[in-house]
Amino acid sequence: MVTLSQAKQRILNKWDWSAENDNYPVILWGPPGIGKSEMIYSLVCDRMLVEAREEFAKAVENINKDSDEYKELKNELEKKTSVLNFTSVTHELIEAIAPHCLVLRLAERPIEQLQGVVVPSMSEKENFARFVMPENLVRVKESEWGIIFLDELDKASDSKFGAATHIMENRVVGDLQLGKGWYVIAAANREEDSHLSNPIPPELKNRCANLEVEGDLETWIQWAVRHDVRKDIILFHKFNSGEWLCNYDLDQTYSFPTPRSWVMASRVIDRLEKRLNPDKNDPEQVKMFDNLVRNELADFVGKQAQSEFFQYREMYLKFNVKAILEGKERIPNRETKASEQSLISDQCVAAFAVADQVSSDQLIIEKATEENGYKAKYNEEYVTNLVQFIKDLIPEIRTIYLRQIHATRIMNVIMDSGLAEDAIEELIKFIAA
The identity of residue 185, as a single letter, is: I
Torsion of CA 253, 254, 259, 265, to 10 degrees: -150
pLDDT tens digits in sequence order for the chain, 433 residues long: 888 889 999 999 888 876 666 788 999 998 888 888 999 999 999 999 999 999 999 999 988 988 999 999 999 999 999 999 987 788 999 999 988 998 888 776 665 555 556 666 666 666 666 666 666 666 777 788 889 898 888 888 777 787 788 788 788 776 677 778 889 999 988 877 666 677 888 888 888 899 999 878 888 888 888 888 888 898 889 888 888 998 766 555 688 898 989 999 999 999 999 999 988 778 898 889 989 999 999 999 999 999 999 988 887 777 888 899 999 999 888 888 768 888 888 888 888 888 877 888 888 888 878 787 778 888 889 988 888 888 888 887 887 777 666 556 777 787 777 776 666 666 656 555 5
List of E strands, 294-370: 364-366
Contacts of 38 (CB under 8 A, 6+ apart): 86, 89
Structure confidence at residue 196 (pLDDT): 67
Q: Strands 129-132 and 117-120, how do they pair?
A: antiparallel
Q: How many CA atoms lie within 13 A of 233 on its CB side?
A: 31
Q: What is the CATH number of domain 4-212?
A: 3.40.50.300
The identity of residue 302, as a single letter, is: G
Instruction: CATH 3.40.50.300 in the chain: give the residue spans.
Output: 4-212
Q: How many helices (H) and strands (E) does the chain have?
A: 19, 11
Helix (H) or strand (E) holding 113: helix 112-115
Structure confidence at residue 396 (pLDDT): 79
Is residue 262 within 8 Å of residue 301, measured between CB atoms?
yes
In three-state secondary structure terms, 106 is: coil
Q: What spatial distance separates the first Cα and last Cα of the chain, rounded to whole Å?
A: 29
271 φ, ψ to 5°?
A: -65, -40
Indicate the DSSP class of residue 372: T
In three-state secondary structure terms, 370 is: coil
Partners of residue 212 on adjacent β-strands: 29
Is residue 226 within 8 Å of residue 14, measured between CB atoms?
no
Q: What HEC string does 193-261 produce?
A: HCCCCCCCCHHHHCCCEEEEECCCHHHHHHHHHHCCCCHHHHHHHHHCCCCCCCCCCCCCCCCCCCHHH
Is residue 147 within 8 Å of residue 185, measured between CB atoms?
yes
Q: How far apart are CA 377 and CA 366, in angstroms?
A: 5
Using alpha carbons, select from 51, 47, 2 the residue that is nearest to residue 28.
Answer: 2
Q: How far apart are CA 41 and CA 94, in angstroms?
A: 9
List of E strands, 26-142: 26-29, 101-105, 117-120, 129-132
Q: How far apart are CA 432 and CA 411, in angstroms?
A: 12
Using alpha carbons, select from 259, 220, 231, 224 the residue that is nearest to residue 355.
Answer: 231
Contacts of 53 (CB under 8 A, 6+ apart): 77
